Amino acid sequence: MARLSVNINKIALLRNSRGKNLPEVLAFAKDIEGFGAQGITVHPRPDERHIRYDDVRNLKKILQTELNVEGNPKESKFVDLICEVLPHQVTLVPDTRNQLTSDHGWDTVKEKSFLKEIIALFKSKNIRVSVFVDPDVKMLEGAKACGADRAELYTERYAHLYPSGPEKAIEPYVRAANVAHEIGLELNAGHDLNLKNLRYFIQKIPFIKEVSIGHALISDALYFGMENTVRMYLWEIHQALNHEKK
């Protein structure tokens, strides 16, 4: 069953806008965990504009479910944090310093030497490593060659195209996912997945291990409340997998 990991960056962004501790990031993470989410995702950036490095340290101390930490391993501060905190999973993302949000995956062929070295470091500390990639067969094969345990499919293009044609939107993802499955590379997915497009995505790629969802889920929570929203996303995943069994 695909697991739901909730990205809580937006909660931290709201907290930081007033410079105090409201909303309380750690309390929200524990509540989300209690509502049934199987993981918490954070993406600390060098300017700490939302999740702070100390948030990551404190989350590791209190969470019972999986902690997934995203970031660019070309930042030495990020590498040091991962080696200190030892999260369950690290997701390597090729963000630049001033990037608003993730908008592309790794070139795992061009960056093979670097990725292979950093992946080996994290795996030596028993951390599962996922590499953020576009739905490109060569990039997935490259991730496998670099030693990654998983690849996270960057799903922004799927979400963008979905309203005008789900079949066309999902096609490159299914093709790439099938190759990854054949070569033994596990898959995660994330970016702009929401209550409208999530079920179809998992129906078509039922061996997805984890979806990481933040912006849409936190936005939905403004309308439905956090507990209801987490359970709504879990229901979409459940229904997608039940469809596959029929």
Residue positions annotated with a catalytic role:
43, 70, 191
> Whose CA is closest to 211, among 191, 225, 230, 227?
191
Q: Which residues contact 129 (CB under 8 A, 6 or more apart)?
A: 89, 90, 92, 119, 122, 123, 147, 148, 149, 150
CA separation for the pair 187, 201 (Å, rounded): 13
Concatenating the DSSP letter of every residue in 5-28 gives EEE-HHHHHHHHTTTS--S-HHHH
| Distance from the Cα of residue 78 to its chain's centroid | 16
Asked if omega into 172 is within 30° of 0 (cis), the reply is no
101 phi/psi in degrees, rounded to 5: -155, 165
SS3 for 53?
Answer: helix
- DSSP at 88: S
> Whose CA is closest to 8, among 78, 81, 65?
65
> Whose CA is closest to 16, among 42, 59, 49?
49
- DSSP at 2: P
Q: Which helix (H) or strand (E) holds 151?
A: strand 150-154
